Amino acid sequence: MRNRLKMLIYIGILIFFSSGPLRAQAPYASEPFNGSLSIPGWYTDNFGPLQWPADGLGNQAVRLEACASSSSSSHCSSSTSGYGQETAVSICKGEIQHAGYQPGTGSGSGCIDNGNGMHEETWYRFHIRLAPGYLATPGTQNSIMEFHVDSKSESDAKSHGGGTAYSTEFNIIADGTSCSGSPAYCPTPGTNPRLFIQVPGGPTSNPKSAARFYPFASNSLLVDHWYDMVLHMIWDASPTVGYVQWWVDGTKMLDVHTPTLYTRSDGTWSYGESLGLYNYRHWASWSSSVDDENVIWGPTADSINFNPGGGGSTPPSAPPAPGSVSGNDSITASANVSWAASSDSAVSGYNVYRTTTSGSGYSSVGTTSGLSFSDNTVKVGTTYYYVVTSVANGVESPHSSEIQVNVSQ
């Protein structure tokens, strides 16, 4: 009898610990912002003692306030940015930058700014409110969350004429006249504000692989509303492996394959040197505040207490590559490339790439919705190699077969 009781207890323990619903994947970490910063590594930018307003849900939140400036030459506070007003809480802890990243060298404000990225999947969840009275500045310089790109990738992109490498970030865009000055100053707020996510990635040698915008509908921004945002990222430089899903208040707003990291000239991948929760904007004549209540990140949806539900969790597939690509040798400073229409009716356009080394080193030279493209940036006396891709539902196909075009005198 005693042995039988022991066996029943043992079986009960096994059932308890093996039961699916009772097993939860632990997150990497969670910062509740409940009156303090509890995880080592968080730091603050450009404001005094932290404010902890009530969130209306029985908890507290950290408030990031942007003060009002009286003129373009009289700013109300200092900023680490040379062209904008920045208040933020940020962290340089590895797993919140992107878990699994390889260490780099160098340190700005305690963040590794020359790290090397690697393939990694992470889920993020955070609660954010545009505080009562919030007004956005015109344009896209209204950041509320950012994975800041490393300095090495920024410099590499700039050296190729691509301006700079960009960060992955949640922003607010608003209509209106661009703010003038250096740094810019806005005397009046923007109109029709809406959320958008900026996702950069691709070769740093390609100026066109700067950033991709995914905006909400015009004038859809909610003020004094706690947004529940979930971000699912597969960090990868491949356009067919990198992956972004974005839910807002339980509704999926984005589901797309896209490069989410840069590939530098030396073949290494970009690195997120920090994650910041921001109230970052142009200098302005009015004050605005952003409240953050919670951020949590982990390896699975379960780890952040989120159920993605059905429908759409499978990423869209890539369309087939264009066929019958052809090009004619040219005796002028122009190369003409043509191809057959894709068999996928969802295809909305085509990207054209070229290189001077057959089979590698392709860079974008243009995009078109037609079935031909004239490249007017070629040099006489040079041989070029072209490939073409199809784009459908934001997903790019593999390269077409390569064709050669000789530009001679």
* In the chain, % of residues over pLDDT 90: 32
Q: What pLDDT is attached to residue 371? A: 92
> For 250-277, how does the pLDDT look when each residue is reduced to its tens digit (9 = 90+)?
999 999 999 999 999 999 898 888 889 9
Closest CA to 52 of 228, 289, 276: 289
pLDDT exceeds cutoff 70 at 51: yes
Confidence of residue 220 (pLDDT cuts 50, 70, 90): very high
d(C-alpha 76, C-alpha 99), whole Å: 37
Considering 19-28, 35-44, 89-98, 212-221, the range whose residues carry the highest mean pLDDT is 212-221
**Per-residue tokens: 380:** 């006489």
Top-confidence residue, 390 or 231: 231
CATH of segment(s) 326-407: 2.60.40.10
Question: How many angstroms separate the Cα of 403 from the Cα of each of 353, 368, 370?
Answer: 11, 18, 18
d(C-alpha 211, C-alpha 267), whole Å: 19
Q: What pLDDT is attached to residue 64? A: 93
Q: What pLDDT is attached to residue 96? A: 61
In the numeric block, the tokens 């915008």 are attached to: 213
Q: What pLDDT is attached to residue 343? A: 80
Counting DSSP H helices and E strands in the chain, the numbers are 3, 27
d(C-alpha 263, C-alpha 270), whole Å: 6
d(C-alpha 42, C-alpha 92), whole Å: 7
d(C-alpha 171, C-alpha 184), whole Å: 18
pLDDT exceeds cutoff 50 at 163: yes
d(C-alpha 190, C-alpha 172), whole Å: 10
pLDDT exceeds cutoff 80 at 361: no
pLDDT exceeds cutoff 80 at 25: no
Q: What pLDDT is attached to residue 105? A: 57
Q: What pLDDT is attached to residue 394? A: 63
In this prediction the pTM is 0.70
Q: How many CB atoms lie within 10 A of CB 193?
A: 25
Q: For the chain, report the end-to-end CA distance as a whole number of angstroms.
A: 99
Q: What pLDDT is attached to residue 355? A: 86
pLDDT exceeds cutoff 60 at 106: no
Top-confidence residue, 209 or 7: 209
> For 65-93, how does the pLDDT look when each residue is reduced to its tens digit (9 = 90+)?
999 998 888 888 766 666 788 889 988 86
pLDDT exceeds cutoff 80 at 317: no
Cis peptide leading into residue 49 (ω within 30°): no
Top-confidence residue, 128 or 104: 128
- Mean of pLDDT over the chain: 82
Residue type, 304: I
pLDDT exceeds cutoff 50 at 117: yes
Residue 263 forms beta bridges with which residues?
Answer: 203, 269
d(C-alpha 230, C-alpha 122), whole Å: 11
Confidence of residue 56 (pLDDT cuts 50, 70, 90): confident
Q: What pLDDT is attached to residue 143? A: 95
pLDDT exceeds cutoff 60 at 1: no
d(C-alpha 257, C-alpha 252), whole Å: 15
Closest CA to 259 of 312, 204, 195, 215: 204
CA dihedral 145, 150, 151, 154 (to 10 degrees): -80
> For 377-399, how does the pLDDT look when each residue is reduced to its tens digit (9 = 90+)?
888 888 999 989 888 766 677 78
Q: What pLDDT is attached to residue 226? A: 95
Q: How many CB atoms lie within 10 A of CB 220?
A: 11
Enumerate the domain spans of the chain. Answer: 29-304, 326-407
Closest CA to 335 of 359, 357, 321, 352: 352
Q: What is the mean pLDDT of residues 97-125?
A: 69
Q: What is the mean pLDDT of residues 366-377?
A: 88
Q: What pLDDT is attached to residue 244? A: 94
Burial state string for 222-238 with b = 16 or more CB within 10 A and e = fewer than 16: eeeebbbbbbbbbbbbb
Q: What pLDDT is attached to residue 18? A: 39
The SS3 assignment for 284 reads: strand
Fold match between domain 29-304 and domain 326-407: no
CATH of segment(s) 29-304: 2.60.120.200
The SS3 assignment for 387 reads: strand
Residues 235 and 242: beta-carbon distance below 8 Å:
yes
pLDDT exceeds cutoff 80 at 360: no
Angle at 122 between CA 116 and CA 126, to 5 degrees: 115
Residue 407 forms beta bridges with which residues?
Answer: 330, 382
